[in-house]
Structure formats: C-alpha cells, structure tokens
C-alpha cells in the first residue's frame, strides 16, 4: 500500500509546526528563566544595605548652633514651558501632550538662614521632584552658593503637570518622551528662584498650626482604613507684616480630569488652594504633598472636569483660612538640615507573587538613581522628606520621635529620588496597585524607612 503524497506532505508540515511551537515554548521558558528571579525576603536588619545606611546615619554630624536670628526670603518663578510637553501623571495620560494651560505651574522657593546654616526649601508644581533635575542641581547649586545638602525639595504631585523629565521605558510611561532641554530649563528656573529668594531675606518669626482634613481624604486600599489627616501649616512673618505659608496635606492631587480630547496643564487642587491662601492673606504660599501613598481625595458630586477642583479647594480653604491670621509667630532660630543617602535592597519589580524581574533588567527600563531621606528642623517643626509616595499609614510610626522633642511633624514625599510606593509591610503580598505594581524595592521597606526617619529625628 503506497502512502498518499498529499498525506506525507501534511504529516511533514504538521511535524514542522509541532517542532516550531516546541521551539518557541522552549525559547519562552529560557527568556523567562533569564528574566525573573525569586523574591528576596531576608529580614532587612540582616542585610548589607541596612548596615550601610545605619553606619551613615551614625556618622552624620550634629548641626551647628545658630549664630543669628532666623532670616527668610521667598520667591516664585513660572516654569510653564513655552511649548506643549508630555503630561507627567501615570495612568491614562500615558505621556500625552497637554494642549491648553488651565493654570500655570511654578517653583516656589523659601530660603532660610540662622547664621550657621542656610536651607532652600523648594516646592515644585510637578508630579515629583524629577531625579534628572536633582542630578543637575547637585552639579549647579554652587552657582547660587549652595549644595544639595542645603536643599529640601518636594512637589505638589499634580498628575496634570509638565512631564518629559524622565528617560527610559518606565520614565516614559510616567512622564512621556524624555526632553533633556526641559530638564535644563527646570533647573535654570529653580536656581533663579533661589537667587530671588536670597535677595529678599529679612528676619522672621515663625508659627505652626494644623487643622483636621480627614473628611476630605480616604484610604484607597481600604476605604475604612487610616489616613494622615491634618493640613499642616508653617507661618513666617517679617517685621514689615509680610507673611509666607508652607502647607502640607496627604490628599493625592488627582481630582482634575481634562475634558476628553483636550489635555490641560494644571496644578490640580494644591494650586487652587495656594491661590486662595495668597488672595486671602496677601502673602506668599507654597504647598508640598504629604504622606500621599494609599490616600486619595474624597470628592463629592461630579468628579469629571475642572469644577470639582475648585469645590475641593474651597472646602479645604473654609477650614484653613480662618486659622491662618490667628497663628501666633515667635522668634525661633532653629534651622538644620540632614541628608541620609539610602542603600536599598535590589529592585523587586514583581511579575507574580514570589517572582520579580532580574534587577539589571528593571534598572535598564527605569534607571539607577540615588535615593535619600531628608530631615529639616525649621523652628517648631520637623520636616521629613522621602523619595517616594510615602504611606500615611506609616506616619504614626514616626510621629513619637518628633513629639518627644516637642516638635510638630510634617512628612513630605518626592524629595528628589523616586523608589515607588512605601507602604506598611503587612500589605506587601496584596495584589494592589500601591503594594505590588508600584512597590519596586522589595519587602521590609515600611519598617526600614520609618526606622531611619526616627533616627534622623534623633539627630535634630
């Protein structure tokens, strides 16, 4: 019996397809094996990165005592580009260009000195303090007589502000196509704001107040979960009566929703709140995102378009504004800033529970940027700056370290590095955006960060 030639041809073709599929499966398995490794759950206190950072903390010098009364100056510089840029804001924006300026964006700078120390406080109307801008500042701050150790930086965390400042695949997903010229322009504007603020320095008195903002935010991991609720404010007053206010709050600046088909540049509710403070007081105001990790604004009614931003800012202002004039300011020359470089666990960008991308692969997508904690003693307040979306649920773990020293704690996010979200360690294995997708450097960082923040507080 002879084989049918067409049957033989089909059999050969079938075998070829099977071999090809097997080869592809084998290649896929090899690629997976080369691309993923198990999660490292070694307790953080048993790691080299912990010992390195602990040694740096112990070696930090005590700041010198003041030799003069506290002086301050403030200034703002418009950083709105003359051309459209990608939008920095994650999510559905995906780096799309804004086409309309709803409200301009600024860098708002306050410079302080007590004769022994000088500190520039930068409040950027951006998503974060871009690591690329921080890198440029480290090189160029001597132009204005400072170094990075003299700078405390934060951002409003608007998801509808200027992007284009982050290279790499992950950077483009966050902030759109990279524009190196834009990084230079942002750096130029920051340096100019420092120059202007230094020219306007005069003796100041300082006061602190906080008002409950808990009704206006919620825990987006667990709607009934805890949040860091206070709207915290530092007030500075010159003998001329001129005033300045530095506010922090933990609500994510994600209220603004651009009209379909028209991207709008906007500072979201922090910008609207700053505008209301300045109109009501005739002074200067700056805002920094607080412990915004896992916290969203609680918006009533329509949440699409621009009107909710105004309503939300009005709600905050009704609580905040009546108290601002009543804040009593006093002479207080306490001023000191410490910078603690952080060593971290290898990158842990997880693809499944128990598995992560190889560290080198993640770094090729994102980049390798230094990360630091900052601690600023400013009059009656202790500001702790973090390189992340720092969870409000972790603030109670740090608060006693400030209270024991009679200081008011203000935790801020986005100090110049960015390591994703830092959340309580008990949530590490949860399949949630903050705890898996944006938790990039492995387990144990909630306890690790708060331990180092308490240690910094102890130095001041």
Average pLDDT of the segment spanning 238-266: 84
Using CA atoms, how far residue 20 sits from 6, 7, 10, 48, in Å, is 21, 20, 15, 46
Can you tell me which residue has the tokens 């896992």?
A: 294
The phi, psi pair for 164, rounded to 5°, reads 85, 10
**How confident is the model over 126-142, as pLDDT tens digits?**
999 999 999 999 999 99
**How confident is the model over 351-390, as pLDDT tens digits?**
888 888 888 888 887 888 889 999 999 999 999 999 999 9
Q: Which residues 6+ apart lie within 8 Å of 55 measured at CB?
A: none
Average pLDDT of the segment spanning 184-194: 98
Least confident of 150-164, 303-317, 428-442: 303-317
Least confident of 123-132, 282-291, 413-422, 434-443: 434-443
**SS3 call for 102:** coil
The DSSP letter of residue 241 is: S
Average pLDDT of the segment spanning 37-47: 92
Dihedral (CA of 417, 421, 423, 425) sign: negative
- By the 10 Å C-beta count (0-12 exposed, 13-18 middle, 19+ buried), 34 is classed as exposed
Q: Is the pLDDT of residue 224 over 90?
A: no
Average pLDDT, the chain: 90
Question: Nearest CA to 274 among 309, 302, 239, 306?
Answer: 309
Q: Give the per-residue pLDDT at 259.
A: 46
């Amino acid at each position: 019996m002879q084989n049918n030639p067409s049957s033989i041809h089909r059999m050969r073709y079938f075998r070829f397809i099977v071999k090809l599929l097997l080869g592809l499966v084998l290649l896929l398995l090899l690629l997976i094996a080369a691309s993923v490794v198990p999660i490292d759950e070694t307790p953080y206190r048993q790691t080299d990165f912990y010992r390195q950072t602990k040694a740096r903390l112990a070696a930090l010098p005590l700041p010198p005592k003041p030799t003069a009364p506290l002086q301050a100056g403030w200034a703002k510089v418009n950083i709105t580009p003359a051309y459209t840029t990608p939008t920095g804001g994650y999510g559905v924006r995906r780096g799309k260009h804004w086409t309309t300026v709803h409200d301009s964006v600024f860098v708002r700078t306050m410079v302080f000195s007590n004769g022994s120390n000088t500190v520039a406080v930068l409040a950027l109307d951006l998503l974060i303090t871009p690591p690329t801008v921080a890198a440029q500042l480290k090189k160029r701050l001597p132009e204005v007589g400072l170094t990075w150790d003299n700078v405390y930086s934060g951002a409003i965390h608007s998801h509808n502000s200027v992007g284009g400042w982050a290279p790499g695949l992950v950077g483009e997903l966050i902030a759109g196509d990279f524009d190196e010229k834009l990084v230079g322009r942002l750096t130029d504007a920051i340096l100019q704001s420092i120059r202007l603020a230094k020219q306007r320095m005069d003796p100041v008195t300082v006061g602190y107040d906080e008002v409950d903002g808990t009704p206006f935010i919620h825990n987006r991991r667990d709607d009934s979960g805890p949040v860091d609720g206070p709207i915290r404010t530092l007030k500075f007053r010159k003998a001329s009566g001129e005033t300045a206010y530095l506010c922090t709050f933990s609500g994510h600046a994600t209220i603004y929703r651009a009209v379909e088909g028209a991207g709008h540049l906007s500072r979201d509710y922090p910008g609207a709140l700053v505008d209301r403070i300045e109109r009501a007081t005739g002074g200067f105001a700056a805002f920094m995102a607080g412990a915004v990790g896992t916290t969203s604004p609680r918006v009533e009614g329509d949440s699409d378009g621009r009107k909710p931003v105004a309503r939300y800012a009005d709600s905050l202002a009704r609580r905040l504004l009546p108290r601002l004039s009543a804040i009593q300011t006093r002479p207080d020359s306490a001023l000191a800033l410490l910078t603690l470089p952080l060593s971290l666990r290898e990158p842990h960008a997880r693809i499944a529970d128990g598995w992560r991308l190889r560290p080198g692969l993640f770094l090729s997508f994102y980049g390798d940027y230094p990360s630091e904690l900052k601690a600023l003693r400013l009059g009656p307040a202790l500001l702790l700056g973090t390189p992340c979306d720092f969870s409000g649920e972790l603030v109670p773990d740090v608060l006693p370290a400030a209270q024991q020293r009679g200081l008011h704690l203000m935790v801020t996010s986005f100090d110049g590095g960015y390591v994703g979200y830092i959340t309580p360690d008990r949530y590490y294995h949860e399949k949630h955006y903050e705890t898996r997708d944006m938790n990039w450097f492995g387990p144990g960082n909630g306890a690790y960060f708060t331990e180092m923040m308490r240690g910094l507080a102890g130095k001041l």
